[in-house]
Amino acid sequence: MELTVSEENYLKAIYHLSEGGKKSVSTNDIAAEMKNKPASVSDMLRKLGEKEVIEYRKYYGLQITETGKRYALQTIRKHRLWEVFLVEKLNFAWDEVHEVAEQLEHIHSPLLIQRLDAYLNYPKFDPHGDPIPDEFGDVRSRPRVQLNEMEVNQTGQIVAVEDSTPAFLRYLDKVGAYIGARIKILDKVEFDGSVEILVDQKKTIFMSKDVACNILVIQS
Amino acid sequence: MELTVSEENYLKAIYHLSEGGKKSVSTNDIAAEMKNKPASVSDMLRKLGEKEVIEYRKYYGLQITETGKRYALQTIRKHRLWEVFLVEKLNFAWDEVHEVAEQLEHIHSPLLIQRLDAYLNYPKFDPHGDPIPDEFGDVRSRPRVQLNEMEVNQTGQIVAVEDSTPAFLRYLDKVGAYIGARIKILDKVEFDGSVEILVDQKKTIFMSKDVACNILVIQS
DNA sequence: ATTTATTTTTAGGATTGCCTAATATATTTT
DNA sequence: AAAATATATTAGGCAATCCTAAAAATAAAT
Ligand SMILES: [Mn+2]
Ligand SMILES: [Mn+2]
Ligand SMILES: [Mn+2]
Ligand SMILES: [Mn+2]
């Protein structure tokens, strides 16, 4: 079965919202994520239900099916592989890739993705630290914590960001936080949740809770 | 102004038909090229006229405008650059690239194309020997003749093919004709226009007129 | 110069994907 | 439990892109 670009985008949004811990995904949430109106979402949910990529009962809620998950993961795989390509091969900055990958993820060609994967040397993570599903849709997820939840003196390594907007990513570039950086919590301010961290045993960075909660760390 | 994918495809078809020597491009020709119906073409011509990428008078004919040419050449540039990428970097065969490039040519990102061009080392020709327009839409065209129009004992170099269908390209692979090959006409059969050529002073190939007329040569 | 054939356009319809406004259902408050 | 609020769906519409069938314009043949 072939999905349209719009259907692929909806399914991806639904998958992400489902994985985000929330029990049920609401029409309003999807509308917000897709930047369109709830009425449009209702239209699309009916169609996705008919195509059996979600299980949908009006007014009750929806659940993504196994088939739907496979489609979503395939699109996510393509998105993240293209992001790696743009950064590794075309020297894009990590804050410049998302919009283009959003288009490239809809190019339909199994051969293309297989070759791209090989060309990039089968990367496991995208430039934002997000895992790249394999061709069967398997994702290797690592136990990650938000930086603001760590305690003073704990150490770890930055492995991903939860916000991929250019503004946030450029800010991280500016202060010197990057994927792969080894960090240690030097201080936490009770009052506002801001933290001070040591990066690579060299540089001290002070950041607000708003920033810290979008940085994901593997503790060590 | 932004063109839709469909508009870009129509404009490309119109450009190619215009360059094909024909004085005026007919609605039927466009429909054939686009593999849809003349009625649909009429719809689109009105729209392209309103956007001033063609000059269109009902029942009379149409002419692509300078603006239209720029858009068409931009799309052609993208198509051909992607074809080079697929062959040079992802090891696609030259008969496998067209369909994918047909999709990739519509990805919208000036930065992407600029970087891709640099990454490929500013190629001047695509895998089928067609010239790649520069970022300003300038095309360096070379004087080429169809192989079947050459006389016995004349020599030259294969520089392009006029047919890019997989069946034709795979046939050329099989018999050993390729872009860049130095050739000499050994014999021509008056009766059916078939020719015998010597490739790289080594191999003799016999081909029908139907094949020969789709092979373009620079004479030397 | 008519008639005939071809080409092109218009009329009307389907599908996709979005919208606003109105309605229906579910949830929360009192 | 009823009323108020929040959430979700339907009704009706619009734009894009395609279609078939009918009508109009042009070109070709007699
Ligand atoms: Mn997308
Ligand atoms: Mn990413
Ligand atoms: Mn195309
Ligand atoms: Mn080509």
| A131-183: pLDDT as tens digits | 999 999 999 888 999 999 999 999 999 999 999 999 999 999 999 999 999 99
Average pLDDT, chain A: 95
Q: CA nearest B173: which of B59, B60, B95? A: B95
**Ligand number with the minimum distance to the CA of A96:** 2
Between CA A100 and CA B113 the distance in angstroms is 11
B132-182, pLDDT tens digit by residue? 999 999 998 889 999 999 999 999 999 999 999 999 999 999 999 999 999
Task: Please report, rounded to whole angstroms, the spatial distance between the CA atom of protein residue B35 and the C1' atom of nucleotide C1.
Answer: 39
Chain C footprint bases within 7 A of protein beta carbons? 7-12, 16-22, 25-26
Task: Report which residue type is found at A143.
Answer: P
Closest partner residue to A119 (CB to CB) among B90, B103, B111 is B90
Tell me, what's the pLDDT at B198?
95
Instruction: Tell me which residue has tokens 């008078």.
Output: B57
Task: Say how far apart CA A185 and CA A151 lie, in whole Å.
Answer: 7
Closest protein CA to C1' of nucleotide D9, residue: A42
**C-alpha to C-alpha distance for A69 and A65, rounded to whole angstroms:** 6
Compare all CA atoms of chain B with the CA of A102 and give the residue at the minimum distance. Answer: B107
Contact B103 A100 (CB under 8 A): no
The ligand placed nearest to the CA atom of residue B101 is: 3
Q: Report the pLDDT averaged over residues A5-12.
A: 98
- Smallest Cα distance from A14 to chain B, Å: 24
In angstroms, rounded to a whole number, what is the distance separating the alpha carbons of residues A218 and B164? Answer: 51
CB B120 within 8 A of CB B82: no
Strand D bases with any atom < 7 A from protein Cβ = 7-12, 16-22, 25-26
The contact set of B with A (CB < 8 A) is: 86, 89-92, 96, 99-100, 103-104, 107-109, 111-112, 115-116, 119
Name the pLDDT band for A20 (thresholds 50, 70, 90): confident
With CB atoms and an 8 Å threshold, state whether A96 touches B111: yes
Q: Which domains does chain B have, with CATH numbers?
A: 5-64 (1.10.10.10), 77-140 (1.10.10.10), 145-219 (2.30.30.90)
Query: Which residues in 56-75 of chain A line strand D, with CB less than 7 A from it?
Result: 56, 58-59
* Parts of chain B with a pLDDT under 70: none
Q: How far is the CA of A90 from the C1' of D15 (A)?
A: 37
The whole model's pTM is what? 0.93
**Strands, E, within chain B: which ranges?**
54-57, 61-64, 145-146, 155-161, 182-188, 195-199, 203-207, 215-219
pLDDT at residue A23, rounded to an integer = 72
Q: What is the pLDDT of residue B75?
A: 98
Residue nearest to nucleotide C21 (CA to C1'): A39
Percent of chain A with pLDDT over 70: 99
Beta strand extents in A3-139 (DSSP E only):
54-57, 61-64
Q: What 3-state class would DSSP assign to B156?
A: strand
Q: Cβ contacts (< 8 Å) between B78 and chain A: which residues?
A: none
B154's tokens: 């004349």
Residue B92 to residue B28: CA distance in whole angstroms: 34
Question: How much distance in Å is there from the Cα of B101 to the middle of ligand 3?
Answer: 7
Could you give the CA distance from residue B135 to residue A127 in angstroms, rounded to a whole number?
Answer: 29
Question: Other CB atoms closer than 10 Å to residue B13's CB: what's the count?
Answer: 20
Long-range CB contacts for residues A174-178, cutoff 8 Å, separation at least 24 = A175/A205, A175/A207, A176/A203, A176/A205, A177/A205, A177/A207, A177/A215
Q: How far is the CA of B195 from the centre of ligand 3 (A)?
A: 35
Which protein residues have their Cβ less than 7 angstroms from some atom of strand C? A 4-7, 36-37, 39-40, 43-44, 47, 59-60; B 26-28, 38-39, 41-43, 45-46, 56, 58-59, 61
Alpha-carbon gap, residue B101 to A159, rounded angstroms: 34
Please tell me the predicted confidence (pLDDT) of residue A40. 98
Q: Chain A closest CA to B26's CA: distance in Å?
A: 31
- Cβ–Cβ of B109/A91 closer than 8 Å? no
Q: How far is the CA of B199 from the C1' of C22 (A)?
A: 76
Give the pLDDT band (50/70/90) at residue A24: confident
